[in-house]
Amino acid sequence: RYGTTSAQEPIKPPVTVEYDKLLINGQFVDAASGKTFPTLDPRSGEVIAHVAEGDTEDINRAVAAARKAFDEGPWPKMTAYERCRIMLRFADLVEKHNDEIAALETWDNGKVYEQSAHIEIPMLVRLFRYYAGWADKIHGLTIRADGPYNVQSLHEPIGVAGQIIPWNFPLVMFAWKVGPALACGNTIVLKTAEQTPLSALLVSKLFLEAGLPDGVLNVVSGFGPSAGAALCSHVDVDKLAFTGSTATGKIVLELAAKSNLKPVTLELGGKSPFIVCEDADVDKAVEVAHFALFFNQGQCCCAGSRTFVHEKVYDEFVAKAKERAMKRSVGDPFKTGMEQGPQIDAEQFNKILKYIKYGKECGATLETGGDRFGTKGYYIQPTVFSNVQDDMPIAKDEIFGPVQTVLKFKDNEEVIRRANNSPYGLAAGIFTQDLDTANTLTRALRVGTVWVNCFDTFDAAIPFGGYKMSGIGREKGEYSLKNYLQVKAVVTSLKNPAW
């Protein structure tokens, strides 16, 4: 059950920590206060490294560097082709160092090494190549207006972008944020999550090696209420992009409004429905629903965390979902064949156990799991609850852990109503072989992404973002560019009105 206990023995990650300072104006520097904070190995809770702790003064220094690199150049003044070449060189360097970066990511985050090495780092590379391709394809329109005017729109970079990212996919989030901002000619101050500061510093070093000019990308490690809030409030920051919890998203938006009304894009929480219809291929639906929830230890904003199953296939689905969860291999994420590593930290670990307790107390049926895994580190048993009701906390709140909740439904109308009855609207999965059911549910669900007979299919070109309290704006794809551009209308009077 749940892999092997010997997997609890930590395997030493094949990397050392070289970059633990702040990146400001092309230099790795100590925090102004001289303070550091520990970043921990989620497999054991042991300290990996002490990292420079940025605060207001460091944010000020980083914003000043980004401001200068934007106002005086060279970044926005370079040719788009030069910017494209630097981004491509960066992607090549990341590819070359793939395994070393993946090991550092797994060490700091606890995610399975094979996932870091074969999915996430390659995804970062793909995203940067995608955005490099955009750099020289950004242009405005010529517009036909009434009267003797020549009218055009210029699509210009917005300026200094403040970006705040979470800990669940540190490098994929780095790419979603940094890629479009740089392609459009902006400069950046990035605040990484305090749980996972290391990988962004390592890849930023490669960006400098690829020829990124000083001050274009500044990386500040540190905490939310100090460094994060200082970035949100800074009046020289022209735009904010944030990924994290809905509660923090509200604070970010408020700080932006109170300071200089900088525009904000938000990618927030979710409680995404995964709907298994009566005609679904049950075996496939079980496997994909399992993946939709348990992927990345359940630490995904778009996790399929409300598994709605039609009553005709409900018992079969629950039995098979339980069986699949019991087969899930849990253990040291550096070990080959592991599917699940530890949760990120003690706070998340305790929160998940609290929700499991609520589930038991509220009368949901615990099919499997329900406790920590092993005695060391932040591992949790893959857990499945059946007979879950809509008003239970495990069906309403984002648990962000390996806890699958299975709910029963009778017909499409009912499941549409219940699926939409959430303040969130990030994503949904639909399993059906009926075209009309797929199209009807797709149109009725108030969510930013619908996956039909698949889930978590990510691609650089596919837009991602939330309806309702799951966010504002879209990342990835062509849609993401407009977050980092402003439109300037240019109206030139013509002497000869006839033309």
Catalytic residues: 267
Q: Which of 80, 101, 232, 313 is close enough to bind ligand ADP by CB under 6 A?
A: 232
Cβ closer to ligand ADP: 3 or 224? 224
Q: Which of 228, 154, 225, 152 is nearest to 189 (CA)?
A: 228
- Considering only residues 444 to 483 of the shown chain, the ones binding ligand ADP according to CB under 6 A are none
**Count of residues making up the chain:** 499
Nearest distance from C-beta of residue 104 to ligand ADP, angstroms: 18
Nearest distance from C-beta of residue 50 to ligand ADP, angstroms: 17
Find out whether 272 and 298 touch, Cβ atoms under 8 Å.
no
Q: Which of 42, 76, 166, 304 is close enough to bind ligand ADP by CB under 6 A?
A: 166
CA dihedral 434, 440, 441, 443 (to 10 degrees): 140
**Is residue 224 at the binding interface for ligand ADP, with CB under 6 A as the rule?**
yes
Nearest distance from C-beta of residue 224 to ligand ADP, angstroms: 2
Nearest distance from C-beta of residue 488 to ligand ADP, angstroms: 30
Cβ closer to ligand ADP: 200 or 276? 200
Pairing of strands 273-276, 306-310: parallel
Cβ closer to ligand ADP: 218 or 386? 218
Cβ closer to ligand ADP: 190 or 202? 190
Torsion 345-346-351-352 (CA) sign: positive
Q: Which of 225, 337, 363, 423 is close enough to bind ligand ADP by CB under 6 A?
A: 225
- Considering only residues 105 to 164 of the shown chain, the ones binding ligand ADP according to CB under 6 A are 164
Other beta carbons within 10 Å of 100: 16
Which residue minimizes CB distance to ligand ADP?
224
Cβ closer to ligand ADP: 117 or 229? 229
Find out whether 189 and 162 touch, Cβ atoms under 8 Å.
yes
Nearest distance from C-beta of residue 48 to ligand ADP, angstroms: 18
**Quick one: residue 211, left, alpha or beta (phi over 0 = left, psi -120 to 50 = alpha)?**
left
Which residue is it, tokens 């809770």?
A: 45
**Is residue 345 at the binding interface for ligand ADP, with CB under 6 A as the rule?**
no
Q: Which of 28, 37, 149, 223 is close enough to bind ligand ADP by CB under 6 A?
A: 223
Q: Which of 43, 111, 177, 191 is close enough to bind ligand ADP by CB under 6 A?
A: 191
User: What does the alpha-carbon distance between residue 141 and residue 150 come to, in Å, rounded to a whole number?
Assistant: 11
| Per-residue contact string for residues 234-253; x = within reach of ligand ADP by CB under 6 A | ----------xx--x--xx-
**Is residue 264 at the binding interface for ligand ADP, with CB under 6 A as the rule?**
no
Q: How many residues bind ligand ADP (CB under 6 A)?
A: 17
Cβ closer to ligand ADP: 23 or 364? 23
Q: Which residues bind ligand ADP (CB under 6 A)?
A: 164-166, 191, 193-194, 223-225, 228-229, 232, 244-245, 248, 251-252
